Structure 1
């Protein structure tokens, strides 16, 4: 593809794991709002996101809310607060609720000791109905986990493991401070399978320092040899203005837009050739995987964890920095763990900020999510669901000039991103973002 065209469409835009995106959350939404939203939440499916903001080391590429710790004491203190938050949130729900899915992110959730993990499960069971069909997914750093911890997570109820790979090339691993051998990773995957974990995802990153197309393809080949059920291939987001530790990465070692585009295309081709289905912009799944099936059924969703099979109407975020979504809007917890723990000790819901949704916001969110998941949406269906708010949300974007590049088609009802335009879906979706021009946040490259 033309390098000028790639450069033009690679302008920094959000990843659209929510709409409005997190930089537009504000302190005007606080604890009282969250309490009222919880008290009104009496029906529909519910899922939980649990954030563990600690790691044994700090990877330089990381964009997550986490910190390196050398002692277990801060983790133990944090877990006491987390258990208390779970109980506190449950008191505001009008009914004991059934949980459809739980996702543990970080940081490194596997840093939690087996004993504390069992206490956490007991707290969840005391406050929610977690049945045998609940999907429990856990992010795993294979360099800091052993068989005992993996067994503890199996006993906890883990059904899906997301194992971080990033890249197997030594020069790349040195640059991002993440030494990790293929053998270490393969052993963790083997152990997970022996423990009966039915779904395994591998995370790969392109656009890392020193990385080129050949390095990425070698990492993909090694990853495919482990026969994961899903693969996520993310573009590295270089945002040192947000994550100061990324400043140690020499920008001269990072690929430009055209090379990033070529890497992503080559990586996708290799994964597709191995028999996986493409799911949105950065996920791949075996055809019989639930994510591939939901894509075919038009039921795929997108939330703060990226593409997901979680169709719950309500997502409750637990832990420092976690974000929840309720029908009325978004809430985000305090980021700093000390302040988070203090709020919990005072009996307060630890809300830092949020966003109350209007009907126009919901209409825009629906259009953007459908573009990100299915590369298309129906204006007629959007109007049937949201009325005039659909026109308020979409009219200007629908008539924006995309066709000159052949990236979209619009027949008055169906707005469709063409095959050629799919790599640029984030840039196209940004045209439906009514807040983007108002914000001061800087984002990562769209490629």
Structure 2
């Protein structure tokens, strides 16, 4: 990979789990009534055709991993589990009232956090059974959860398997003890190995590892050692992404300084080391920091042009309606987004008032919908085209103009009504998406807002 290009295009940019990105949503969220109407429309279209997706945010962790950018609540008091589950199930009942007499068909469930396995196996079982009560499960449903190697037990694995889970995402980050100590992450290679092997023994069909580059005290040799261990355990898919240093948003990251982070040269070397190791081991670049074996459903979905990306990341399941439950979770009707209250206490207050706990949101304009489609195409297929009136607007042509330099660098190929990201351009697909981001170009950030694209 060309080192000069890595430095040239390593600029701050969004991760594009949505378009418009959250900082550019409308200042006033949709009203309760408006949001219910958007949900009803999406449900009517999505439920009978492909089902609907659920994301449940479980924010609790026993200790703070100082690199983490997620919405978390640190506590060792497990008595919080019951109250939180009750609130989530009550929120779900509010959505049931929107659906009317039609049973929801659940196509996808993802438990994210925080640390979902902070919750006991019995409580997770109660939660999921409560979600599925009075609902149908799609015959091709995919249920997955995020697992911390330090506290995910065999009982967790078996209990979740028994209620339909077949995918597990393990937070590895790095195997080096020094790096793990700096980010306050308490786990071992042996725990990850056991979790991986036990998952497969029980019957899980997909194992993902999260690996982060650019962490404090991380070195190239550490990444090589980490990747050798990863390759030995052979997860089906890997999210290999850049550490987002945003201490102005996440104060926990102030436990170390910029001096503890690898400088740009070293960070690029760490990235190239990891990427090269994965490619030599047979992992394919799915896009935006994700790699998968050819036997994995993500890779197959990309080859069959059915790969999708939403607030849960890449998925081979695509539904028009994604409902987020729990504090800070995000819902998507395709034509609109909302995010729930972030603070657990504020979330509880809104639930007690029998309100859908919306704190912000965005209803997409016609231009938003066009640009969203092109950005999604680029993220999932590395190409997009515009031949019909519903696929083009002035911003599409402005995007093409903005990509002239990337075309000169052989990172994209531009033809009439068509754009393709080259093999060399795949690591820079976020930069390509940024060219289509009309909201970003209309109001370029004056302060630090996003992490680096590479």
Match in the other structure for 1:19: 19
Contact residue 105 and residue 138 of structure 1 kept, 8 A? yes
The change in CA–CA distance for 1:32 and 1:139 in structure 2 (over 3 A counts) is same
Secondary structure at the counterpart of residue 438 of structure 2 = coil
Contact residue 431 and residue 453 of structure 2 kept, 8 A? yes
Match in the other structure for 2:78: 72
Match in the other structure for 1:109: 116
Contact residue 31 and residue 350 of structure 1 kept, 8 A? no
For the pair 1:6 / 2:12, whether they are aligned, the reply is: no
Contact residue 230 and residue 284 of structure 1 kept, 8 A? yes
The answer to which of 102-111 and 30-39 deviates more is 30-39
- What's the CA shift for 1:439? 5.9
Secondary structure at the counterpart of residue 135 of structure 1 = strand
Give a deviation string over 1:70-123, Cα, whole Å, max 9, x none: 101223211110111111111112421211111110011111122222221222
- What's the CA shift for 1:210? 1.1
The change in CA–CA distance for 1:428 and 1:345 in structure 2 (over 3 A counts) is same
CA RMSD of aligned residues (A): 1.7
State the TM-score, normalized to the length of structure 1. Answer: 0.95
The change in CA–CA distance for 1:276 and 1:8 in structure 2 (over 3 A counts) is closer
Secondary structure at the counterpart of residue 144 of structure 1 = coil
Match in the other structure for 1:295: 302
Cα distance in 2, alignment partners of residues 115 and 77 from structure 1: 14
For the pair 1:38 / 2:39, whether they are aligned, the reply is: yes
Contact residue 140 and residue 161 of structure 1 kept, 8 A? yes
Question: Superposed, which structure 2 residues align to 1:24-423 within 5 Å?
Answer: 24-25=24-25, 26-40=27-41, 41-44=43-46, 45=50, 46-94=52-100, 95-380=102-387, 383-384=388-389, 386-387=390-391, 390-400=392-402, 401-402=404-405, 403-423=407-427
Contact residue 49 and residue 102 of structure 1 kept, 8 A? yes
Contact residue 73 and residue 114 of structure 2 kept, 8 A? yes
For the pair 1:431 / 2:432, whether they are aligned, the reply is: no
Cα distance in 2, alignment partners of residues 38 and 374 from structure 1: 28
Cα distance in 2, alignment partners of residues 155 and 132 from structure 1: 16
Cα distance in 2, alignment partners of residues 157 and 287 from structure 1: 24
State the TM-score, normalized to the length of structure 2. Answer: 0.93
Give a deviation string over 1:353-411, Cα, whole Å, max 9, x none: 1100112101111111111222211122xx35x15xx2233111112232333322211
Secondary structure at the counterpart of residue 310 of structure 1 = coil
Contact residue 287 and residue 427 of structure 2 kept, 8 A? no
Unaligned runs of 5+ in 1: none
- What's the CA shift for 1:27? 2.8
The answer to which of 139-148 and 419-428 deviates more is 419-428
Cα distance in 1, alignment partners of residues 126 and 187 from structure 2: 30
